[in-house]
Structure 1
């Protein structure tokens, strides 16, 4: 497979200086796309907004009651009024406490529900991406979208929503109360507000850029850890002596995160210092002006105390309102990064009128496979930074992109028969096996199973019909039972044992202390290559699909194990339509049809004897690649007979 990726990044993938990431702006319409997610929790939102209204009312009412306590109770020495008003303050405090409790509960319901919705949607969407997507995307970057960015997006709907409503409503109520008490002092206080807003506007864009860069670096570090903290990555680093280089590369990323964090803290603290100084200056102004009015007798002392209290409560919302832009942009950036994944268009899609591929019954034979003038090239991605997911988009093949891997390929795999694919490395054999279960779509031509174009079938029915065993048998970090039942979740204990016996691996499993409950480790590294391959075959036998594709399924087996597995396969594949890629002589000799692939085309076809007699490419491959195995292959073939 050819790729069109750009030149390798510097310093083992370090791309934290990529301006396309840090300077990228939030896409238009992002805020509008957030609304449907929030509306799923409309009743919790209503309760959240109602409690914020209560909180705002209590905040604005408190200073007015304080004025009444001083002017109507303490100054005229009316103890009854003081007691009544104090009880009112206590009652409002209880109401406010209840409102805050309900507000917290609603916020949790909305926030965690939003996280659940986004995570499941992103996970499901990524699962629908074609195989080409996973050959280009960084695992850590995807994990970052599911974790850090989704959690950051929650802030946009919960904290931001409740804070914005509370802040704006509180600001309106406090200003109304201040104008009611003294319009002169209120105007003097309002003159200072622009001095609060100006510093934030200067810092907001810088903080947004730092936030996006932090998210990107977190994704890079997560990806690096995912790749290095597994057996394959750790082994590669040790074998090539690159451990110190790995530490250096990680340290560079972590150092940049540190520098960004320090800058963010400095900017945040600077903003706090500016607002604190301005608040103090404004308070001094109000005390000076209000004190003069009180001395002149035009302003009651209770009103002055209430004005100062309201002023202190005014600049709280003003500060929140000024910093809300930063908070909002941080949350929206998180949403924007999540939407970047959701906006990725899968190359493999299911048509609205897709049909279910009929399952073969007791009397119906397994479906045949037909390639009709099929051409294919691997998709190319747009030129993007390897450290970013921001602009990944796979285009339809165009002139000048990856060359054709298959060219006008036509052949038929008969129903219930075994067809072997042979040919030199890079001929297109594995590509053919990828097209059968529709891991990729052909550029032109048609692939039919049972007479149905695979593009007209539902993906689920197609994948249920076709079973595949690849050369690299992947195992999840789970028990043997979990790995086997992945193919058939409802399988019974006896069915698991029967599949393992048929794959000639039960003796190995039964000898383990935990048997089927043995954990295989990361990617099955606790097992040998041959054991993994046989477990993979057992998984296929458990699924029992009518169409079977084997890509070097016996490549890791020794001659004795191969003979045992071949006997199992001979029984298991009976009556099933099978496509096998193999270099082993035993498999090829047993095939009903051999297709010789070279340069993406079928050069020869026939049985083993027919192709040898033709003295063409197959005979050459046989003589150069299989001659050394002829004797051992003959022994294997004799065992199968």
Structure 2
């Protein structure tokens, strides 16, 4: 009987393709960032080649002197010196290449991290976190192979190859012709394998990304998985991805392994041809024994860099497969690049109109990009529930309205300066999307949003966000300490300011229960705090930054009655002279708002005060009745 996971498609599976491709030209900038060690390694390679090429010549002279019973003199010492020098040069070159390889990995990771964390939010909604992490960890590591597995050594070895080739031509052109024929055949075979290695490598890295995404999902939801009794099924799902990555890795190994015997066969065949034909020519008196020995030594010196070249071809194609995935992210347009040509700053007093509303929505419509909507439709289909088989409602956020494509339709309302506006409505109405649009996580697809009379699409995103405090619905807490979380938006805040804001949101007991105080760890995703404490810490983080605009998405949903009241008092205190937009399902927390905007299915169906809406908007009246407010 098949396992449960075997009958269903993995939620991490992706369409089969060869993945993004990279060219060798795209690899060069990473190498040229380290010009000094690169040049030094090449120079050492040339010196090492010269020391190696001189050795057969000295050996030939030694044999001739021995044949004629003449003293060897300085030749032995010169030969020993060349061997020692060649070894020292090789060792130092290896160190330079290893260090340079680590430098290439570091620079590629820094470039990728900087680009990744500046990508538009749409990219994170459409891609899997584990796959992005894999590109930074696994894919960048493969770039090291370009340097440490033969590329630069092969370039230096080309000097040895050419020098040996010339020496062999001088010694005996006939033997060289036979040797060249064998080597040419091996080069043709390796060239045919190179393309297959690159394609297989790209597919392998994709599977490693799938595995990382699967593992990240399982670890991130480990408590839900355990509570649902789904641990075995999740293990099987992740192991399926591990097997897939293993199979692709074995496929790469099979193709790469063909390169090794090709080089070995070329070397052995060349040696046997030279030994047989060369021995025959020595017997006929057409070649001296000393010249044959020198020719054989040069043959080995020519074969060695050839083997390095074959290894370099394999390593480079592996790296280019990984580089394609890296360049796919690096090539994406970042938020800052998108805004660079048009962005202005709100810090210019002439930018905003003094009498304009703090925030104005003017006939705003919004649809998520196709890639995001498609990704979430696939999530709905694949994960209708991988644990229980049940289908849950579409949560607010990137999945709002994706089934018909439109999330907001012709939304218009104003938020006056220094007032409190509440957004209410059923789940999926578009409330959280409105806050995301104000933060410019996405840009509207119709209409406009204005702050101080200025279209936010013309504003610098960093400047815009520095004036907005945003507390998300899930109240994320970063791994680290309490202090780390508070200083995220206010890096210059003092310890006393941090303590004061914690007491303001009723988190003083968190400081008291750990002797480390502000430096007490909160655990991964704030697991060492309760849900309410995580939410209050997120609110404290925004309050500490003291922005002129505060966006609170279900900011008291995880609080009990006592803490909710204290939180409302803290928000009331900080709300003075600030503009607030609050989302809440519990109408009791927003009934005293200056204005309430009621949304349903992405449309505004009413605005006004609590008493006005109870009289005029049936949906709001029903919500109030259910919560015993009328």
- TM-score range normalised by the length of the shorter chain: 0.7 to 0.9
> For structure 1, which segment, 460-469 or 61-70, has the greater mean C-alpha deviation from structure 2 after superposition?
61-70
1:558 aligned onto 2:557: no
1:370 aligned onto 2:368: no
1:167-566 map, 5 Å: 167-230=157-220, 233-346=221-334, 349-358=338-347, 368-381=358-371, 402-566=404-568
Question: Please, what TM-score do these two structures have when normalized by structure 2?
Answer: 0.88
Q: Secondary structure at the match of 1:331?
A: helix
Work out the CA distance in 1 between the residues paired with 2:406 and 2:16. 35
Q: Which sections of structure 2, spanning at least 5 residues, go unmatched?
A: 1-5, 380-401
1:509–1:516 contact (8 Å) kept in structure 2 = yes
Q: What do residues 73-126 of structure 1 show as CA deviations (whole Å, max 9, x unaligned)? A: 3223332xx342222223323433443344234324432222222212211212
1:367–1:546 contact (8 Å) kept in structure 2 = no
Q: Which sections of structure 1, spanning at least 5 residues, go unmatched?
A: 1-7, 388-399, 631-641
Work out the CA distance in 2 between the residues paired with 1:401 and 1:162. 53
Work out the CA distance in 2 between the residues paired with 1:523 and 1:592. 35
Work out the CA distance in 2 between the residues paired with 1:534 and 1:381. 34
Q: Secondary structure at the match of 2:448?
A: strand
Work out the CA distance in 2 between the residues paired with 1:137 and 1:432. 22
Partner of 1:35: 28
Q: Secondary structure at the match of 1:405?
A: strand
Which of 36, 50, 54 is residue 57 of structure 1 equivalent to?
A: 50
Shift of 1:491: 1.6
C-alpha distance 32-280 of structure 1, shift in aligned 2 (>3 A):
closer
> For structure 1, which segment, 350-359 or 112-121, has the greater mean C-alpha deviation from structure 2 after superposition?
350-359
> For structure 1, which segment, 615-624 or 300-309, has the greater mean C-alpha deviation from structure 2 after superposition?
615-624
Question: Please, what TM-score do these two structures have when normalized by structure 1?
Answer: 0.86
Q: Secondary structure at the match of 1:191?
A: helix
Q: What do residues 524-560 of structure 1 show as CA deviations (whole Å, max 9, x unaligned)? A: 1221111111111111111111100001101111111
Q: What do residues 177-214 of structure 1 show as CA deviations (whole Å, max 9, x unaligned)? A: 11111112111211211332344345434433432232
Shift of 1:574: 0.8
Partner of 1:13: 11
2:201–2:322 contact (8 Å) kept in structure 1 = no
Q: What do residues 326-377 of structure 1 show as CA deviations (whole Å, max 9, x unaligned)? A: 22211111111100111233478313242222289xxx99971111221111
Shift of 1:133: 2.0
1:150–1:334 contact (8 Å) kept in structure 2 = yes
Shift of 1:515: 2.4
Shift of 1:141: 0.9
Task: Count matched residues.
Answer: 597
Work out the CA distance in 1 between the residues paired with 2:457 and 2:250. 53
Shift of 1:165: 0.9
Work out the CA distance in 2 between the residues paired with 1:181 and 1:507. 88
2:190–2:262 contact (8 Å) kept in structure 1 = no
2:422–2:597 contact (8 Å) kept in structure 1 = yes
C-alpha distance 490-367 of structure 1, shift in aligned 2 (>3 A):
farther
C-alpha distance 43-201 of structure 1, shift in aligned 2 (>3 A):
closer
Work out the CA distance in 2 between the residues paired with 1:130 and 1:223. 20
Partner of 1:392: none
1:78 aligned onto 2:66: no
Work out the CA distance in 2 between the residues paired with 1:182 and 1:188. 11
2:150–2:308 contact (8 Å) kept in structure 1 = no
Work out the CA distance in 2 between the residues paired with 1:365 and 1:602. 24
Q: What do residues 367-419 of structure 1 show as CA deviations (whole Å, max 9, x unaligned)? A: 711112211111111868989xxxxxxxxxxxx99532112222111111111
1:93 aligned onto 2:83: yes
Work out the CA distance in 1 between the residues paired with 2:598 and 2:455. 24
Q: Secondary structure at the match of 1:550?
A: strand
Q: Secondary structure at the match of 2:469?
A: strand
Q: Secondary structure at the match of 1:590?
A: coil
Partner of 1:126: 116
Work out the CA distance in 1 between the residues paired with 2:561 and 2:50. 83
C-alpha distance 126-497 of structure 1, shift in aligned 2 (>3 A):
same
Query: Aligned-residue CA RMSD in angstroms?
Result: 2.8
C-alpha distance 260-132 of structure 1, shift in aligned 2 (>3 A):
closer
Work out the CA distance in 2 between the residues paired with 1:301 and 1:419. 98
